[in-house]
Chains A and B, each alone.
Chain A
């Protein structure tokens, strides 16, 4: 009996020497596939799905406009109607034109013809606001737009 007990006690320890290597691998993976957040989203932004998507061009020629219902923390103050977010703050439709023109003016002249407006719109937002934004974009002559979406089954957008 005592012999039997002795055998059980002697466990080999699991080596954790390779743990840092594993974690470093994970770290490098995340460092390569992600990018730094440049704006804090104040609106909900669940993009719709689409299948026929095209990749956007380089980042230096993209102007992003976020649209969606205010986040949980702003909902009490602003209600649930979808809002436009430019950079870090909420904005009105009338502010979109000056903002786009301002961003265009900052860019080097040779890039300006290639500028794309990326519309990151929450799928629950309604078209009224989008129609207004598109009208404003036509006014300022920023005609190249991109409805930014996730890749996935487009019929999932309906529910």
Chain B
């Protein structure tokens, strides 16, 4: 009698529990009124129908990718007064071949090449461009300082987007490697971990403020300078 009051939904979804409760109630009341049980045989079919509906109408969305800032448009052409040694020319042609500083190289070696170039720190210690935290070879013919180093990526119009993303990914990977190392030395944590923590909704605003400062400091030490001139 009482078990009718237990919501139908609960009885349906947890059949076993429902039955036990019913029996208990019957025992307590001391009456043996027989309650017709709901036939749950078609439950599986209904659930399957719902499941198939959701499978068809929904997608697992990808919501991650490589973030970029485009340069603001100005009326005057941007004048670059960079020295040649501070620019790393990366050319990706339509067949997916990669040329770095007029030298054909394998895509897999790009990361190493870029991080060597950025971390070079070629300026001598008396100059203002001197990079105290660089661990590179200090080759005077390569970049002076990570803040000065620019990577120029040239693509043809026929280059495939997949190859372009691979190159972009390797460039970001090289920078992340250097930033991670620097964050490890300064803050005993990796840069990517800090970025992840910053994006998490659980992080309190106070922690976020501290993280933001650290992230910005690391970004200032190794700024992501990627140029995409379009003369090809």
Contact = CB atoms under 8 A, between A and B. Distances in A.
Contact of A147 (B15, B51, B68, B155): B68
| Interface size range on B against A | 35 or more
B158 interface: yes
Interface residues of A, number: 59
Interface in A141-159: 141, 143-151, 154-155, 157-158
B70 A143 contact: yes
B129 interface: no
Contacts of A105: none
The A contact surface, by secondary structure, is mixed
Interface in A121-159: 121-128, 130-131, 134, 137-139, 141, 143-151, 154-155, 157-158
Contacts of B213: none
Interface in A11-49: 16-17, 19-21, 23-24, 26-27, 30-31, 33-37, 47-49
B168 interface: yes
A150 B62 contact: yes
B62 A47 contact: yes
Contacts, number: 172
Given A16-B44, A154-B165, A127 B64 contact: no
A48 B157 contact: no
B54 A31 contact: yes
B61 interface: yes
Interface of A: 16-17, 19-21, 23-24, 26-27, 30-31, 33-37, 47-56, 59, 67, 116, 118-119, 121-128, 130-131, 134, 137-139, 141, 143-151, 154-155, 157-158
